[in-house]
Every structure is written in C-alpha cells, then in structure tokens.
Amino acid sequence: MARKRTSLFPVEASSVSSSLLLQPEQKSNLFGLQEAYEVNVNDTTITPGSSQIDTAYTPAEANLGSIPLLQQSPESPVHGHHSNRNTASSSPISVINSLGGNLHQLKSGQINRIINVKYSNDPILLIKQLSVDLAQKESELILLRQENFIREQQLVKLCNEYGNLSTLEIDQKLKEMNENHNSNGANHSNNDIEYANEQDRHVDEILKGLIGTAIHNEMDTTKRKEHETSPEKHRKKESNHVQAQASNESENPFYGQFPKPKSWLRNWFNSSEDLTLPPTTQTQNTTINNRPYSKSFNLSFMKNDNNTSSKPNISATKLPAPVELDSIKMGFSTSSNETDLDESEADTSREEVNIDKYGFFNDIENVLRAKSPPPPTTETRAASTATNSIDESQAILIGNRDILQTIDQLKEISKIHDSTNQQIEKQWDTLMKEISRDFYKYMNTDHDEGSEMFGIRGLNIIKLDSRMNGNFLNDTAIGKIRTTPAGPYSHHYSQLVKLIDKFGISSKYRYSLWLELSGAKNLMVNGVYQELLSEVKQYEDEDAIEAATDPSPEVRMRKAIIQSNIKQIKLDLHRTLPRNYYFNNLIDLKPGPNFYKLQRILYAFIAYRPDIGYLQGMNKIVGNLLLIASRDENKDNETAETFSEVDIFWIFIGLIEEILPKYRGPNNKPQVFFNSLLSIRTDQMVLNRVYLKKFLPDLHHHFAKLEVETELISLNWWLTLFIDLKFLKLETWFKLFDSLLVDDLNVGGSSNDSEANISEALNLSSSVHSVIDEDLSTRGSIKLICLTLAIFKGLQQVLLDIQDKEFIYDLLNSNGSNGYRSENISRHMGNKLSLRYDEITKYSISFAKKISGIDLKLHRREFIKSEGY
Amino acid sequence: MSFPNPATSVKLVLLGEAAVGKSSLVLRFVSNDFQENKEPTIGAAFLTQKCTIGERTIKYEIWDTAGQERFASLAPMYYRNAQAAIVVYDITKPASFIKARHWVKELHEQASKDITIALVGNKYDLVEDDNEEDGLRKVSVEEGKGLAEEEGLLFFETSAKTSYNVNDVFIGIGSKIPETNAGNGAAPADQTGGEGRIDLTSNSVAANRAGECAC
C-alpha cells in the first residue's frame, strides 16, 4: 500500500532523492526493488497491528534515513521527530547553525563535555537540539521533494507535448541520469549541503541552489560522459553557466513565454538562431554518442557492460541507428480533427492531464483520484495533494532553469532524431522508387493483380525479381520461396525485407505497405464492412427475442453464434486499454472514440468469420492497431494517408488469413491461428523444450532450475502477438508488426537451400500444392518462434541475474496490470529493459536460419505423440 | 509475527467463467487493491502471496486463468499438479454457476486426486443490500452451499470490491491443505472469526503483502 502511495508521484520520488541526497546503499534498480519489499516486511514486523506503515513509508521519511547526521548517530531520537516538529518551527535558525552534524565523530567524553558546557549538563537539551535539526532537515527535504516533483512533472509534460517523447522515454532518461548520479552522488550531495551551510543563506535560496546544482550535476555527469575528451573545459563552462543563470534568473526571456510554449517551442525547433540559448556543446564527431536515448535502450546494467554498450555504437557509425520516435512535430496537443471530441473542452483539460502521444494516461492514479471521491487521507496523501495544488507559476519559476537545459537536450535529440529519420526515409524513398520503376517496366499492369505492387507478404516483388532475373516462376512456386530468386539483376525483395528488419516500415509508407503486405487490400470488398455491421446491429438489438420468422436453421445458428460472441465482446470492451484516452476518456468519464471503433470492428469480424468468432486477445490486438490510426489523425501532415476503421478491420482479417500461422484441424484442414489453441500449445512445448534448450541453453537451464514454465509465458505472448510486454514499447510493437508482414529471408536453411527450393519448385507442378500447404503450417509458426526466442535472448543477461521465480514471471507477464508488482516493475525497470527493434529482428533472423519447417513438424509430432500434455 | 517454518509453496489455480472476478479476487488478495475496469486476462497470469496460518506459512503460487470458454482447453496446463483450486462464479449470473459446476467436475476428473477446491460466489457487494425477491442475486447461498457439500468443497461468498471474505478463502484453503513439511500440526484457522469480515482498512494483507496475510 505504501508503494501505491508513493506512486502518486508519476516520476518516482527516488530519482529526486538520489539526485539530491545520499542513497548510500542504492544498488541497481533491479535489486533495489526487491530490497524495498524486504524493508517493507521489516516495517510491518516491527510495528504490527498499527497503521504506521502508512506514515512509516512516506518518501520524505525514507529519505530522512539518508541524512548524514541521522545515519551515523543511531542513538539520536529518530522516532521522536514527529512530535518535535512544532518546536522546530518556533526555534531560530541561528541555533541550528551553532551545532554541526559532527557529533558522531566526537568521543563520548567530548560529547559529555559539550553537554556540560553548552547544555548546562542537561542531555535532554542536546537531544532536543538534535531533533530540532532533524525536523529542520525534514522540512527542507519536503520542500525539496515538492519542488523537484513539480519540476519533473513540468518537464515530463513538456517533453511529452513538444519533444514528442513518450513517458517511457522520459522515464528512461531520468533513470539514466539518476544512475550516473548515483555513482558519485554521495560526494556531490555532501558537498552541496556543506556548501549551502557555509553560505548561510536563507533556506529558500539554499534549496534553490541545491536543486540547481543537483540538476547541473546531473546534466554535467551525463554530458561529461559524452564529452570525455574535454571534461575540464566542460565543467568550467557549466559552472559559469550556473552563475549566469542565477544572476538573471527572473529576467529570462523564456520565462514569461512558458505558459504558452506551443508556438515558441515549435518555432524554435525550426529556426533556433533567433533565440539566445545557452550554447550547445555539440560537436561534429560526438553526434552519435550524444544520443542519450540510444544509450538507455541498451540493457545498461548487464554484466558485460562493455560489450553491450559498444555494439550499437559501432553499428551506428555505419548506419544511423533506428530511432524509436517517429516525428518530432506531431505532439499530442496538435490534434485538431478528432471528431468525436468536444474540441475546446477536451483540449484544455488534456493540457492539465498528462497523456502521451498514443493517448495513454501517464499519471493514471492522479486522474482516477481526481475523478473519484477522495479516499481517507493520511499524512502522505495530504502532502501529495498539497504538492499538486502548489501554484502553477511557482512551478514554472522553479522549473525554469532546468527547462532550459532540457530544451537544450531536446533540441539535440530532435536534431539527431530528425536527421536519422531522414536518412532512413531516404533509403525507403530510394527503394520504393526503384521498385515502382521496375514494376511498371517489367510487370504487365493490366494483369489481374497488377494493381498491387507488393502483394501479400511481398510476393509480387518476388515475382518482379524473378522476372527481371529471367526466372519465370509460377505463382505457387513464388509462394514457396522466401527470397529474391537467384539472378544478377534484381533483389528488391531482399532489400525490402532487410530494410523492414532494420528500421521497420517508414511511417510514410506504412499505410500502403500494411494494406498490401497483410493481404487487406486483396481481401477488401467495398461495402462489406457496413453490411456486416448492420447485420450484427440487428442481432444485438433483438437480443432476447426469439424471432419465429427465421427462415432457416442455418440463419438461426448463425444468429446464435453471433449473439454469444456479442456477449463476450461486450464484457471486454470497457476492459480494453482502460488507461488510454482514446478508449476510456477519464477526463469526461466516457468511452473514447476508439471504444466504438473497436466494438464495430469486432462485431463486423464475428459476422465475417463466425467460424472463428471472438477470442480474448483480439480486443488487444485490434485495440493497439487502432492506436496507430488515432495517432495518425493527429498528424498535421495532410498528405499522409491514414488508416481508417475499415482499413484496420481488413488488416486484421489479412493478419488472420495470410500472416499468422495456420495449423491442421481435425480433418487435416487448415485452421486459423485463433481456432488452434491446442496446436499453439504444442508449439510452445516445442519452442521452450526444444529450441530454447538448443539455442539458449544457459537460459533454459536457469528457467528449469527456478521451475519457471516458460511455455505458459510464451503462450500469452503469442495470443496477443507480443502486446503489453513491459520491455516492448508500442512504437517497437508496431515495427514488430511490420516485420510479421514479411518472411525472414532464407528461413529454414542457407541460401543454397532456397535456391534448391526454387529449382525444386520449378520442376514440381502437381505436388506443389501440398508442399505449399505444409509450408503454410510452419511458416508463420517459425516466425513467431524466432521472435519469441529473440526476445528471450535480448533479455537473457537480465533474466540470468534474477534468482526469483516470481520476479521472472512478473517481468515476462504480458497481462500488464495484474497486481502491484507488475506496476512497480514497469515503473522501475520496464524502461530500462526496452528492447531495440533491430536487436530483436537480428536475433530472430539468426534463429530463423536454424529452424526448418520439417524439423518443427517432427518435434510437434513427438509432443503430440508423447502427450506430455 | 515470526516465521517459524519456511514457507510451503502451494500451487493454486483460479477457474471460472469470464468476468466473474477471478483476477480481481487475486488482486485483492495479493495487493489489497481493486480496479474497476480490469483488463481481461489472456492465457493466464502468475502471482504469488504468502499467508500465515497458525504456525505454517504458505506461499501461494497462483495461476489466474482466462475465463472465456474457448480457453478452457488450455486449463489443464495450469491445473496440472495444482494442490488447490478456486472455482469462481458470479452470484448475479446463474450461467456462471453452471460453469462452475463443470469446472468442479473437470477438476475432480482430471486434476490431482488430493486437490483442495474452494467454490467462491463473488460480487457479494452487489447483493449486500438486496431485499428478498427483487434483488440482483441470482444464485442463492443455499445453492452454493449445496454444491459445495455435494462435492466436498470449501464454500465462500466474497466481494473483491469490498474485500469481504477474500482472505478467508485463502486461509480456508491453507488450513485444509495437508501438511507436507514435517512440522507442527496446523492450527485451526478461525482466528479471524470464520467467515466474518476482515478489516482491511488497517494493516492486513496489503501492508504485509510481501510477508504474510493477516491471520
């Protein structure tokens, strides 16, 4: 419960405390978390049967433990400080300064003498003095925490709106700073406090100074890392900077403009010359290293830190590393054509509430609290609300200096980000141009499917390649091979797949590529969606009435099936993405626009394929796909085509019919993914007991030792196609979806193999069909198996370090919001564990080369036979 | 409170129709929390919670399964080797009680022989103020008790929302599970007053969440 309380601060308070104060024993977050639990246990065992937990774990008091004075003199009245707070406020500050916190260094005799001389032989006076000190410190701490909290909230808001960063990314950044600081944080804060005492300034000034220096230290350490070449010079610059800022802090040009930063920030991103900003320390050759985010994408606390952190940089010098942000310009606040919303009202309220670019509420606890009658307040809660209600202008004042710094960084990030994206886009442009040129040159566009340049899973490109290289493969043969056919002239398909595997599909082309590659365009028939909807609507309305006029048993049957599906869908609609603004508008307490879109798509789906029907998990897949559509609506780029509700419907159909694995049903008929739970289960057995063991033996051993049943974990992943994994950002998930739409190159063997496949395919004509059918049952599975293994591999080092079964389950659990632990994990370490897309695909491809369809089928058969399950 | 014995791990599985409140029940037990719009569980979720019953400490390893009928075929994966099961139904939904009956039957046929099963009618908060006839309650206490007696189950009516009786379910199961460790005989677990209400506003489960539950 105490944990919950602290989580009222969206940006964890620990980052505040550790940046300003001592956290002497702070380990890596991974274990710091567990430690926190242990502390909790102790707390409860020490003071059972009381409500002390609530108070005993307020962050302020937790921090109190790290004040040097207290920490090193355990005899001092720790538990008495509450009652003494009042005396503290009434006593003059000068008294405080008369006594240093160095009592612990004195010998007992000396202390005795002090008591004798200074306190007229009354130890109680000394104790009182100490507790006064404590109380004073505590009040300072509370202030510090408040200010920092506000600052961070402002920054997060700012980053969210204008930097187009998700909270994840911001959190990540904060954590990183935090860590950097921790390494030498102790000394710093110590100096800071002493420095402040020496100056003997007014408390407020001291506090502000502290914050300032702490922040600068943070900046300094991050920057110093980046500019290891000239640390001396850099530090000098920083300190000058501090002074400069301190002197004109209230006259700052940005200051007054902050309340309406929308316009100036955007201008400023475009033309930075006009504004006098602190000089950026960016130099030409540090550009790549300057990218703070790329650093944090790595699992930076892995054992072999050197290897992991250097790898991406090496590759980055060759190619621009993929940036997980899409476009800096499309901040949430620019949304203007969200039809289902009351414009003015929604916009103002949204500015107050912290929502990321995909519509997820960042501080859900606050939103919920604001919308529900206040629960019984404890001391902690009162403090936090007080924090929230602090005057906005004050927040700006405090945040000002730091905002400048952050803006500085944001600007750098956005520059790098933009240029990287430009390069990636250029590569896409080139390829697309080439493909379209050759397509019109070599393909007979009058031909039936001539309008589709790419075709399902890019098969038309293979066809194009094969034509250009002089191999005239028939369609079935093309269906079988998974690479550009041999030949000197064309390798568009391989290029396409490589580009997708490296960067994901550029947002510019995602619309057309998703529609074609998924098969949606091929399946799409105008008007069908509306027809299906009106049919379901009709069944929905006459829910309970048994119409006797039903023409045939088939229709009655169909109706019954659809109605039972409607029932289940209705149960799940309000439970889908309840933390997302587009699904659950917590501000106005009504369903968001996507709620209804999801409902319609699922309704249409059950009417389109009643034989499949609705399966829990579909709501998540469709729901998340809808987020890319709603994000596109916010784009001010009018030229970009955006996904409509109908598009998403057909993409989902395409996904089921063309992309996801199909299995063998009872009559050896192909059966779609969602109808094949038992076959999926078998695949989990093969995946975890054969391939995991074979390719990641250490991890497999580790899991076996801890009795972690990974097949139960990966089963969940498959059922929702990797959505809601704590270490996959939504952005990355969209890219994973991109990669699902094409086959890995050379799956199931070396390139020689695939050449053999082609010649084989050329010679076979009658038996080709059965071959393709078989292929159907393994192709999709291999892709999912490889992605699963790739994720395990990406997390391997982290997982090997965890010796707690429960913790592993929590970490890998995709049922996101179950229980407090999951929330804590995602808050504390989810950001750190972000897997990079190109990392996943790289691993995935390497696994794909080692797994053949025949192999998979053999293992499946073994498991079915042994009926271990 | 001390830990006289090392915790005994007990694998527990939750079964029941969709949206009867399985996940909410677990969430209440594990973190003393309640979420209004709980996302449906896909596949299953794994959670743990310790619970001290008399001299024993039990660590529940809970598999909270998806409720949709179509996932039923996967259930054996989860109840395999389970020592305990909670079959949940919604006391305002008769269909969910029928489904519960099926689950009990399946568990008796397929699961381990000595599995301890608790039958739980959830959403008690909805019927708390019910008048006799016109209320929301659709499954009577007698029906629930009847089934429980018939099949040899523990029986509880709970509310994950108000936390009514939630802990008692787990305490009840814990005290019925045969002791595997060589230790003291399990003390009877009615220190909380049988099926009475536990006051969770103080420091019971959530406060002790990493330790033990309030008993």
What pLDDT, in 10s, does the model give residues A57-92?
A: 334 443 433 334 333 344 444 443 443 444 344 444
| Six token digits for residue A502 | 């490296």
- Which of A341-345, A398-402, A825-829, B26-30 has the lowest average pLDDT? A341-345
In this predicted model, which residue has the larger pLDDT, A718 or A152? Answer: A718
Nearest CA distance, B214 vs chain A (angstrom): 9
A657, A672 Cβ separation under 8 angstroms: yes
* B76 neighbourhood in chain A, CB within 8 Å: 869
CA A359 to chain centre: 13
Residue A438 resides in a domain: no
Instruction: Look at residue A473 in the predicted model and tell me its pLDDT.
Output: 67
Which residues fall within 8 angstroms of residue A105, CB to CB, at 6 or more apart?
Answer: none
Q: Is A852 on the interface with B (CB under 8 A)?
A: no
| Average pLDDT taken over every residue of chain A | 67
Flag whether B34 is in a domain.
yes
* A659 C-beta neighbours (distance < 10 Å), count: 24
Regarding predicted confidence, which is higher, A347 or A571? A571
Residues A119 and A164 in one domain: yes
Tell me the CATH number at B133.
3.40.50.300
Residue A286: its pLDDT value, please?
32
Residue A60: which H helix or E strand, with range?
helix A59-64
In a domain, B210, yes or no: no
The reply to whether A709 falls in a domain is yes
Considering the domain architecture, whether residues A714 and A647 belong to the same structural domain is answered as no
Q: Does B4 touch chain A (CB under 8 A)?
A: no
The answer on A647 and A746 residing in a single domain is no
Distance CA A750, CA A483 (A): 11
Which member of B27, B73, B206 has the closest CB to residue A1? Answer: B206
- Are A688 and A589 in the same domain? no
Domain housing B134: 8-192
Q: With a cut of 70, say whether residue B58 has pLDDT above it.
A: yes
Angle between helices A618-633 and A645-654 (to 10 degrees): 140
CB contact under 8 A, B46 and A712: yes
pLDDT of residue B183 exceeding 70: no
**Could you report the per-residue pLDDT of A299-309, keeping only the tens digit for each?**
333 333 333 33
Statement: residue A9 has pLDDT above 60: no
pLDDT given at position A676: 92
Give pLDDT, residue A488: 66
Decide if pLDDT at A825 tops 60.
no
Exposure of B54 by Cβ count < 10 A (0-12 exposed, 13-18 middle, 19+ buried)?
middle
Tell me the sheet residues that pair with A663.
A671
CB B209 within 8 A of CB A2: no
Residue B136 pLDDT greater than 50, yes or no: yes
Write out the DSSP string of A678-698.
HHHHHHHHIIIIIIHHHH-HH
Which two three-digit tokens encode residue A225?
Answer: 């890392």
Both tokens of A848, joined, read 């794909």
Residue B202 within any structural domain of the chain? no
Question: DSSP code of A13?
Answer: H
Pick the residue from chain A with its C-alpha nearest to B77: A869
SS3 at position A593: helix
Task: State yes or no: pLDDT of A815 exceeds 60.
Answer: yes
Structural tokens at position A258: 């902050």
**pLDDT band at residue A786 under the 50/70/90 scheme:** very high
Concatenating the DSSP letter of every residue in A117-166 gives: HHSTT-HHHHHHHHHHHHHHHHHHHHHHHHHHHHHHHHHHHHHHHHS---
A711 and A626 in a single domain? The answer is: no
Q: What is the pLDDT, as a whole number, of residue A306?
A: 39
CB-closest option in B32, B40, B203 to A616: B40
A267 and A187, same domain (yes or no) = yes
Dist CA A776 CA A770 (whole Å): 10
The mean of the pLDDT values for chain B is 83
Q: Say if CB A504 and CB A322 are below 8 A apart.
A: yes
Interatomic CA distance for residues A807 and A799, integer angstroms: 9
Report in angstroms the alpha-carbon separations of A111 from A102, A127, A137, A385: 11, 12, 22, 42
pLDDT at A770: 43
Q: Supply the CATH number for residue A765's domain.
A: 1.10.472.80
Q: How many Å apart are CA A33 and CA A827, to the nearest integer?
A: 10
Residue located via tokens 């499946």: A860
Percent of chain B with pLDDT over 70: 79
A316 or B86, higher pLDDT: B86
In degrees and rounded to multiples of 5, residue A762 shows phi and psi of: -65, -35
Record: contact A820-B209, CB cut-off 8 A: yes
Q: Burial, A314: exposed, middle or buried (Cβ in 10 Å; 0-12, 13-18, 19+)?
A: exposed
- Residue B2 domain flag: no
Mean pLDDT across the stretch B64-82?
Answer: 93
Residue B182 has pLDDT above 90, yes or no: no
Which of A124-128, A340-344, A574-578, B57-61 is least confident? A340-344
Q: Which two tokens stand for residue B36?
A: 């209004």
Alpha carbon A165 to its chain centroid, in Å, reads 11
Q: Does the pLDDT at position A245 exceed 50?
A: no
Q: Which pLDDT score is estimated for B194? A: 37
**What's the pLDDT at A530?**
95
For residue A794, the model assigns a pLDDT of 92
pTM of the entire structure?
0.64
CA-based nearest residue in chain A for residue B61: A806
| Within a domain: A177 | yes
In whole angstroms, what is the distance from residue A687 CA to residue A693 CA?
A: 9
Q: Determine the average pLDDT of the residues in A188-204.
A: 49
Residue for token pair 């799940």: A572
Same domain, A759 and A624: no
Q: Please check whether residue A350 lies inside any domain of the structure.
A: no
Judged by average pLDDT, the poorest of A96-100, A329-333, A522-526, A564-568 is: A329-333
Give which of A835, A817, A839 is closest to A826, Cα–Cα. Answer: A817
pLDDT band at A853 (very low <50, low <70, confident <90, very high): confident
> Quick one: pLDDT at residue A102?
66
**Which B residues 192-211 touch A at CB under 8 Å?**
201-203, 206-211
What integer is the mean pLDDT of A693-705?
Answer: 97
Asked if the structure places residue B198 within a domain, the reply is no
Q: Give the burial class of A429: count Cβ atoms within 10 A of its Cβ; 0-12 exposed, 13-18 middle, 19 or more buried.
A: middle
**A511 inside domain:** no
**Between A277 and B154, where is the model more confident?**
B154
- The predicted pLDDT at position A213 comes to 55
Nearest to A435 by CA among A469, A462, A475: A462
Contact A711 B77 (CB under 8 A): yes
Who has greater pLDDT, A721 or A446? A721
Measured between alpha carbons, how far is A746 from A480 in angstroms, rounded to an integer? 11
Query: Region B122-140: what's the mean pLDDT?
Result: 85
* B95 in reach of chain A (CB within 8 A): no
CA dihedral (B41, B43, B47, B51) in degrees, to 10, reads 90
Residue A205 lies in a domain: yes
Question: Is B81 within 8 Å of chain A by CB?
Answer: no
Helix axes A593-608, A528-541, angle to 10 degrees: 100
Q: How far apart are CA A652 and CA A642, in angstroms?
A: 16
Let me know whether A128 and A245 are in one domain: yes
Q: Which of B52, B209, B212, B213 to mutate: most A Cβ within 10 Å?
A: B209
Of the ranges A514-523, A837-846, B191-200, which one carries the lowest mean pLDDT score? B191-200
pLDDT, one tens digit per residue, over A369-397 is 676 554 444 443 344 444 444 444 455 55
Indicate whether A610 belongs to any domain. Answer: yes
Domain coverage including residue A237: 2-328+360-406
Q: Which of A8-22, A287-301, A571-585, B150-164 has the highest mean pLDDT?
A: B150-164
Residue B147 counted as domain residue: yes
Last residue of a domain, one of A406, A436, A460: A406
Spatial separation of the C-alpha atoms in residues A161 and A266, rounded to whole Å: 11
Shortest CA gap A295–chain B (Å): 32
Interface of A with B in 208-237 (CB under 8 A): none
> Any chain B CB within 8 A of the CB of A2?
yes
Q: Using alpha carbons only, how large is chain B's radius of gyration in Å?
A: 16
Give burial (CB, 10 Å; 0-12/13-18/19+) of A793. Answer: buried
The band of A26, judged by pLDDT with boundaries at 50, 70 and 90, is: very low
CB A296 within 8 A of CB A175: yes
Of B38, B45, B70, the CB nearest to A677: B70
Distance of residue B38 Cα from the nearest chain A Cα, in angstroms: 6
Coil, helix or strand at residue A574: coil
Number of domains, chain B: 1
pLDDT computed for residue A778 by the predictor:
85
User: Which letter does DSSP use for residue B164 in this model?
Assistant: B
A62 vs A356, residue with greater confidence: A356
Residues A146 and A29 in one domain: yes
With CA atoms as reference, the chain B residue closest to A572 would be B40
Confirm whether A507 is domain-assigned: no
pLDDT at A493 over 80: yes
Max Cα–Cα distance, chain B, nearest Å: 52
Section A657-674 average pLDDT: 88
State whether A817 and B203 contact (CB < 8 Å).
no
Q: Which two tokens stand for residue A475?
A: 């369609």
Q: Do residues A96 and A209 both lie within one domain?
A: yes
Q: Judge whether residue A238 has pLDDT over 70.
A: no
Helices A645-654 and A528-541 meet at what angle, rounded to 10?
Answer: 100
How would residue B17 be classed by pLDDT, with cut points 50, 70 and 90?
Answer: very high
Render pLDDT for A89-125 as a digit per residue (tens, 0 to 9): 444 444 444 445 567 777 788 878 878 877 788 888 8
User: How is the beta sheet containing B44-53 ordered, strand by strand?
Assistant: B44-53, B56-65, B8-16, B84-90, B116-122, B154-157
* Residue found by looking up tokens 């290289």 in the block: A469
| Domain total of chain A | 3
Residues A816 and A739 in one domain: yes
Mean pLDDT of A255-268: 37
Tell me which residue of A137, A249, A134 sits closest to A193, measured CA to CA: A137
Question: What is the structure's pLDDT at A757?
Answer: 52
Choice between A354 and A310, residue whose per-residue pLDDT is larger: A354
- At residue A651, φ and ψ (nearest 5 deg) are -65, -40
CB A158 within 8 A of CB A406: yes
Residue A203: per-residue pLDDT: 54
Could you tell me which of A796, A457, A471 has the C-alpha nearest to residue A654? A457
Whole-angstrom distance, CA of residue A275 vs CA of residue B95: 68
Higher pLDDT, A799 or A829: A799
Asked if residue B115 is part of any domain, the answer here is yes
Q: How far apart are CA A564 and CA A259, in angstroms?
A: 52
Which residues of chain A lie closer than 8 angstroms to B73, CB-CB? 677-678
Q: Does residue A94 share a domain with residue A199? A: yes
Predicted complex ipTM = 0.82
The answer to whether the CB atoms of B42 and A616 lie below 8 A apart is: yes
Does B112 score more than 60 pLDDT?
yes
List the structure tokens of B175: 């005290």
Q: Is the pLDDT of residue A189 over 50?
A: no
> Which positions ≥6 away from A415 have C-beta within 8 Å?
none
Indicate whether B208 belongs to any domain. Answer: no
